[in-house]
Structure 1
Amino acid sequence: MGAVWQHNVAAVEAFLACQTQWRWVPRYGARDRAAGLDYAGCDVALRHAGVAVTPDLWEQFQVIELAAKAALNEG
């Protein structure tokens, strides 16, 4: 992970473990919108990936989620 600062690596790895857990809101006549990650699904994914979630890691994870959600919903 050359482009990720070392102190963010754990949060990025946790986010990537949950990358398939997005919830989408269908919109008639428009693009679906990302609502956010399904935290129940993320809990399972993180446990299976062996990730110990600390409050600090969770905070970093949510920052990544919000940025990804904004990027997914652009346009």
Structure 2
Amino acid sequence: MPAPERRIFDSPCKSVCRIDERVGWCIGCKRTRAEIKAWSTASSSEKRDILARLPGRAAAEPELLAGGGS
């Protein structure tokens, strides 16, 4: 069964909540500290912008952690 579609006000939090300093974002949800802090007061447009950045971070993370981004 496919996962339900995410609504814009749903947090992308995965309950991992650990910032990896090598990449600068949470290893669970891929948000930065600033994005996590701003989430509860962010507008729908700001949330869409944050959510749009997450797939690119997830795709880049293995290379960055392997040292390819330095």
Normalised by the shorter chain, which TM-score bucket? 0.3 to 0.5
Whose relative contact order is higher, 1 or 2, with alpha carbons under 8 Å and at least 6 apart? 1
Pick the structure with more helix per residue. 1
Structure whose alpha-carbon radius of gyration is higher: 1
TM-score normalised by L of structure 2? 0.37
Greater percentage in strand = 1
